[in-house]
Structure 1
Amino acid sequence: MQSFVRRHTVGVAGVVSALALAVVVAAVRGVIPAGLLPTYEPLVSVIPSLNALISATAIATIALGWRAARNRDFTRHRALMGASTLLFAGFLALYLYRLVVHGTTEFGGPDAVYQFLYLPVLIVHMALAMVCVPLVVYALVLAGTHSVAELPGTPHARVGRVAASLWLVSFFLGIVVYLLLYVVY
């Protein structure tokens, strides 16, 4: 199986990314029925704050993982980027669960703030998150199918730098969205 994935890295990353994004789009569009999942209200109410904490932690693990790679500490890099991926998966699972069982949260601030700050930040955050998925998946597939010695001969480092940069900005903007929705307004 690993040899198949290794030979078809782009295709495998594309299929995994398409499936992941399809689940997100299905949840956002309301295709997944709320009755499909049990509703545990104490969890639903803390998910936004929990996801902000997960985002802040992911920012730290991505930055530390990037630094570890620059210092050629690839064992630490792998562990930190694996942690970043698990944090993102946890964030996404919690976000989608809340979206399906609770729906979206209306912005409670002034219309001018909504139009000129909140909405642009939200749109950029979501766009970067969607762009990051295939880049991160591709970097992970490369890392999972090649030894550390082989990775310099792949696009892993180049794609990883772009993915990490966009991922950092997306997580940061997600925290800004949280603050605008749940703290400021």
Structure 2
Amino acid sequence: MSTPEPTTNPAGFTKYKILMGALAAIIPVAVAILYFLPGVFVIPGLNVKALPAVNAVLNSLTAVFLVIGYYFIRRKDVAKHRAMMGLAFLLGSLFLVSYVAYHSQVASTKFGGEGLIKGIYYFILLTHILLAAITVGLVLFTLYFALTEQFQKHRRIARWTYPVWLYVSVTGVIVYFMISPYYN
């Protein structure tokens, strides 16, 4: 049995859509600026050395909660699905803050591998970066449709959001392990 969609558009819905759209554009641009212009927002004395490992843990846990959330929704346990997806969103948000903090302080580490592994690394990294930029908007709108009880729209976009977000979370961990030997 499906839940009917709300028939009205409360005044707040439109402003939240605009906010979600703005965040979906601003966040990837801000991350790109920090990536290409490291040291723009340096905070003297801030030690961020452990953050890449913390980010890998956050990405790993995000992936775990995404899979568990998917498991619960397939069994129609909406309450547990909502809890797992809320945890995935929280961890993903913490990851984003930690990632921005790290890259605002430190230039990106160069991959030192050679040959085939270098091509594999850059393929994974490129797809990870491109899909990560898309993931921000997908996640925000998927969450928006769930919170506004627009469940048909939520399900439609979640079919795209879930695999992309899971791919980004898992490849983030893979990228970390591949580049970690080259951290100073």
The normalised TM-score by structure 2 is 0.85
Amino acid paired to 2:62: A
Tell me the distance in 1 between the aligned counterparts of 2:27 and 2:176: 23
2:147 aligned with 1:109: no
Count of residues in Structure 1 that have an aligned counterpart in Structure 2: 175
Q: 1:81 aligns with which of 66, 81, 85?
A: 85
Once the two structures are TM-superposed, the CA of residue 183 in structure 1 deviates from its matched residue by 4.5
Equivalent runs, 1:88-127 vs 2, <5 Å? 88-110=92-114, 112-114=116-118, 116-127=119-130
Work out which of the residue numbers 164, 167, 172 in structure 2 matches 1:166: 164
**2:52 pairs with 42, 48, 51, which one?**
48
1:26 aligned partner: 33
Pair 118,31 (structure 1): closer, same or farther in 2 beyond 3 Å? closer
CA distance in 2, matches of 1:29, 1:45: 19
Encode CA deviations 1:24-49: one digit per residue, 9 max, x unaligned: 122123277233x34432xx111111
Q: Which amino acid aligns with 2:22?
A: V
Q: 1:8: Cα distance to partner? A: 5.7
**Secondary structure of 1:155's match?**
helix
Q: Deviations over 1:32-68 (max 9, x none)?
A: 7233x34432xx1111111111111111100111111
d(CA) in 2 for partners of 1:30, 1:3: 41
Gaps of 5+ in 1: none
Match for residue 156 of structure 1 among 145, 154, 157? 154
2:141 equivalent among 124, 134, 138: 138
2:111/2:182 contact within 8 Å kept:
no
Report the more deviating stretch, 102-111 or 8-17: 8-17
Deviates more, 1:170-179 or 1:10-19: 10-19
- Cα offset for 1:93? 1.0
Contact 1:5 1:12 in 2 (8 A): no
* Percent identity of equivalent pairs: 26
TM-score (norm 1): 0.84
Return the alpha-carbon distance in structure 1 between the equivalents of residues 146 and 22 of structure 2. 17
Change (3 A) 1:32 1:40: closer
Which consecutive unaligned segments of at least 5 residues does structure 2 have? 1-8
SS in 1 for 2:159: helix
